[in-house]
Amino acid sequence: DVKVTQSSRYLVKRTGEKVFLECVQDMDHENMFWYRQDPGLGLRLIYFSYDVKMKEKGDIPEGYSVSREKKERFSLILESASTNQTSMYLCASSFRWGSPLHFGNGTRLTVT
Amino acid sequence: DQQVKQNSPSLSVQEGRISILNCDYTNSMFDYFLWYKKYPAEGPTFLISISSIKDKNEDGRFTVFLNKSAKHLSLHIVPSQPGDSAVYFCAASARSNYQLIWGAGTKLIIKP
């Protein structure tokens, strides 16, 4: 069974802090994704990666960056957290394009 | 402009009856559609999908119907069970792109 693990379930950070959200998958999947989920807006894609060291912007990349140094790990970085980045962050992976996504349990980030 | 719309934020259904969740889309290039289910404090899990070459796909109690001319799909759950209480997301993609576009979700409540 595919396991996608996000390092934190809840995080509280202050405005201006640098924030790292970590995600690890154990199924040797090529593709990894970072989404944020907000009420009434569904899931919105921040960044995705189709290979080690490769990354592509999603729909809402502003204020975020990512890192994929190893195939199993995909990190989301908030360079300077702002209150409008308070959200639920979901990491996902997929075997190949078109395969269903497997999600982690999410990190609820609050920026005060 | 939301390309994938789930117009009912919530739906309440009696246990044992049929649950029908609806989803509309605007982009005629979409040719692959998926439904995901999400419990609180967990990530979404893949439920069922349908390609545009079909108009129906079944998996146990779950059936998805696609009406391409109306740009509408629906998920039927028969019979509804208490464990079906969750948020259901509809998502769509064009195979040329594979990036998923998500609806805002419908919260399904199954009443005993």
pLDDT per position as a tens digit, A66-107? 999 999 999 999 999 999 999 999 999 998 877 889 999 999
pLDDT per position as a tens digit, B21-56? 999 999 999 999 999 999 988 999 999 999 999 999
Give the residue from chain B lying closest to A89, CA to CA. Answer: B43
Q: Can you tell me whether residue B22 is helix, strand or coil?
A: strand
What is the C-alpha separation between B44 and A88, in angstroms, rounded? 12
Specify the length of chain B in residues: 112
For B112, other C-beta atoms within 10 Å of its C-beta total 6
Interchain pair B44, A43: CB under 8 A: yes
Q: Is residue B98 less than 8 Å (CB to CB) from chain A?
A: yes
The 10 Å CB-count burial string (b at 16+, else e) for B48-69 is bbbebeeeebeeeebbbbbeee
The answer to whether A46 and A60 have CB atoms below 8 angstroms apart is yes
Task: Give the pLDDT score at B1.
Answer: 66
What is the C-alpha separation between A83 and A98, in angstroms, rounded? 34
Q: Can you tell me whether residue B8 is helix, strand or coil?
A: coil
CA angle A75, A59, A106 (to 5 degrees): 40
Secondary structure letter of residue A101 according to DSSP: P
Task: Give the pLDDT score at B51.
Answer: 93
Interchain pair B4, A45: CB under 8 A: no
Mutate which of B99, B106, B107 to test chain A, going by most A C-beta atoms within 10 A?
Answer: B99
Interchain pair B43, A100: CB under 8 A: no
Task: Name which of A40, A58, A103 is nearest B43 (Cβ-Cβ).
Answer: A103
Q: Is residue B48 less than 8 Å (CB to CB) from chain A?
A: no
